[in-house]
Structure formats: C-alpha cells, structure tokens
Amino acid sequence: MSSQATELVRLLTVRGETLAVAESLTGGLVAAEITSVPGASKVFRGSVTAYATELKHELLGVDATLLAQRGAVDPQVAGEMAAGVRKVLDADWGIATTGVAGPEPQDGQPVGTVFVAVDGPLTDRPGSAGGGKVEALRLNGSRAEIRMESVRSVLAVLLEQLAGEQTGNERAQDTERNGGF
C-alpha cells in the first residue's frame, strides 16, 4: 500500500466522502491500491474495469460518438469515465484511467499516452475543484512501469483536488483527530 492511498483514504474518511474508480489500462490496479489500505471500506464504493471500448459506453455512459471518432485514449473520454463511474456507483468522487501501456500504439496514440481524470462534487466555495479535472501524461518505460505510474498519477490528481478543497477548519479538525496540534 502506498502513502498516497493511505492519505487518500484518511482524507476521504475525515470528510465523510466516497470514491469510485473507472479503469482501462490499469486493469484494476487503482482499486487494488486503494483497497490495500485498512479502513478503505468506509470510503471506497467500488470500481468498473472497462477494458473493452464498448464497455466504456455501455457501463460508464461515455458518449458513443466520441469513442467512435477519437477512440478510447482521449482526455474527454477519461473525464466522462470519471463522471460516469461517480454516477453509476453513487460516489462523491470518481477517478479514471485510460491510455496506452503497450507494447503497440492504440487509436493512433503512441505507447505511454495516458489520461487520468477526477470528477467531484460541484461547490461554490473559493478554491473548489469545481467538478472535474483531466491530466495528460506522456510516460516512458515498460508496460508495467506505465501502468504503475498511471496509478500513482491518478491518486496524486485526486489528492491535489481534495487538498485544494479542504478549508482551514477542516484541516484543524483533521489534525486534532489524528493527534496533532
């Protein structure tokens, strides 16, 4: 279990929020990383591994025309996957991974092209995530290295969104609950 996953579970627990995961190239690795953390069941709703392109539409509601025109390795597809899994699994936050781990290019995209996405609650607080974020990655390495870096990256993007939304009062309560000052 990574320190990122541990921190993610801790933050979501403090906030009383839940998470759902949609995965393609990572094939369940994101869900496995999160569920390796003791207490993850308090915040983790579940995951959908939509490896086949048509499942991205059928299970997650990704626009079929978008998939037909651009393929599965696309920033908008990643965003729709995150929003779709959030809706389907009734979670506060949804995260998604899609990309090309290799060994061959896919949908006209070279190996190492990855998109990770986060979709979260819309709020009107200053500094809010305001819904969703998609990050494009160009990764090098073996298939396994690309997949593991994709896991790390999607967790980092969600942690960044959660940290950006945490108010001073929430940070104080969190520190107090965890034995700090």
pLDDT one-digit tens code per residue, 92-151? 999 999 999 999 999 899 999 999 999 998 654 444 445 689 999 999 999 999 999 999
Residue 152 has pLDDT above 50, yes or no: yes
Q: Taking CA 176 as the corner, what is the angle to CA 173 and CA 178, rounded to the nearest 5 degrees?
A: 110
Q: How confident is the model at residue 175 (pLDDT cuts 50, 70, 90)?
A: very low
- Residue carrying the six token digits 């998470």: 19
Span 27-44, average pLDDT = 98
Structure tokens at 3: 């320190």
More confident residue, 131 or 169: 131
- Using a 10 angstrom Cβ sphere, with 0-12 exposed, 13-18 middle and 19 or more buried, the burial of residue 5 is buried
C-alpha closest to that of 166 among 15, 43, 5, 9 = 15
How far, in Å, CA of 26 to CA of 118, rounded? 15
Of 10-14, 52-56, 128-132, minimum mean pLDDT range: 128-132
pLDDT digits (tens, 9 = 90+) for 59-83: 999 999 999 999 999 999 999 999 9
Residue ranges of alpha helices (H) inside the chain are 3-15, 29-35, 53-60, 64-70, 75-88, 143-165, 168-177
What is the per-residue pLDDT for 127?
A: 46
CB 93, CB 86: distance < 8 Å: yes
What per-residue confidence (pLDDT) applies to 130? 53
pLDDT of 53 reads 96
Which range (7-16, 23-32, 53-62, 167-176) has the least confidence? Answer: 167-176
Contact 10, 166 (CB under 8 A): no
Q: Mean pLDDT in the chain?
A: 89
Instruction: Kindly state the DSSP code that residue 132 receives in the 8-state scheme.
Output: E
CA distance 107 to 47: 24
pTM for the full predicted model:
0.88
Q: What one-letter code names the amino acid at 129?
A: A
How crowded is the C-beta side of 63, counted as CA atoms within 13 Å? 11
